[in-house]
Amino acid sequence: MDFFAGRGCHGALVLGTTGEGPSFSPKERLDLMRAAIEIHNSRPTFHLLAGTGTPSLEESIDLTRAAFDLGYDAVVVLPPYYYRKASEDGLFEWFSNVMERAVPADGRLIAYHIPPFSGVPISIQLLARLKDRFAERFAGVKDSSADANHAQRLGEYFGNDLLILNGNDSLFSLALRSNASGCITALATLCSPLLRQVWDLYLAGESDAKLQSNLNSFREIMDSSPPIPAFVKEILAHEHHFPKWTVRPPLLPLPMQTVDHALQAWDQLRNV
């Protein structure tokens, strides 16, 4: 967390997709949330969000309540991703239960739209219903659809009334131009200074196509070496001398040949 804060990040999402959140038990998630919140001792303005969505409503409620009890700023909640044909009414009921039973008046919940992984899309209509019902506590959406048209539609529909966080680095500049409020991405673990430059230029009313092109190139290298959590851990060890952490099944470490090719491409791009 301190590493991220020192590289221009405004905050971090603990137990998201890159952090393999669904691979951890509820007890392990609580242990990790307790460990991460310690960053507030040295960096009280560094925002912390916790991934608390699971297919179980009760488990999601318990984890969400625990995150706010620990002092997290917000939670990022996946839809219940087992029943992929659940109706919009059913999803609205599910999220409403989490909101009513676990999110305090000063808490904020962000829905996690990542249909390539969850298989359960969160429609614009569902977002609007939740915002109407829970005006303050339902804060926004993390859009990891990797769909440029969807990013634009979100901005057109909600304007600045909903916190929209881009989840795909290649779409960051487009998302910002479409009223996004920032990003939470896998590449932010490795290229946060570059993402911060794009963000700062946007706030200044400027843009830099070359910076976005560099982001696209880094993202292409990462996407070509799945699984992303394993790739991220390899780069953190190689470039920033963190321990070479492993991934949890069903994910597997990258084959050595893949690692060598990825590191070579990464180093070449970094030195351009």
Q: What is the pLDDT of residue 148?
A: 96
pLDDT tens digit sequence for 78-123: 999 999 999 999 999 999 999 999 999 999 999 999 999 999 999 9
Kindly give the pairing relationship between strand 182-183 and strand 11-14.
Answer: unpaired
pLDDT-derived band of residue 150, with 50, 70 and 90 as boundaries? very high
Which pLDDT does position 220 carry in this prediction? Answer: 96
With contact defined as beta carbons under 8 Å apart, do 190 and 170 qualify?
Answer: no
Give the model's pLDDT for residue 125: 98
pLDDT at 69: 98
* 67 vs 61: CA distance, rounded Å: 10
- In this prediction, residue 208 has a pLDDT band, given cuts at 50, 70 and 90, of confident
The pLDDT tens digits for 216-229 are 999 999 999 999 99
Ordered structural domains, the chain, with CATH = 2-144 (3.20.20.70)
pTM recorded for the entire structure? 0.96
Going from the C-alpha of 240 to that of each of 30, 219, 257, the distances in angstroms are 27, 18, 21
Calpha distance 7→243 (Å, rounded):
19
pLDDT grade, residue 207 (50/70/90)? confident
- Residue 272: what pLDDT? 67
Determine how many CB atoms are found less than 10 A away from the CB of residue 238.
15
Tell me the catalytic residues.
17, 82, 112, 142
* Tokens 């070359």 sit on residue: 210
Residue 75 has pLDDT above 80, yes or no: yes
Q: How many CB atoms lie within 10 A of CB 38?
A: 10
Tens-place pLDDT, residues 154-189 = 999 999 999 999 999 999 999 999 999 999 999 999
Residue 51: pLDDT above 90? yes
Alpha-helical regions (H) of the chain: 2-5, 26-36, 57-70, 88-102, 115-118, 124-133, 148-158, 172-177, 188-203, 209-223, 228-240, 256-270
Mean pLDDT of the residues in the chain: 96
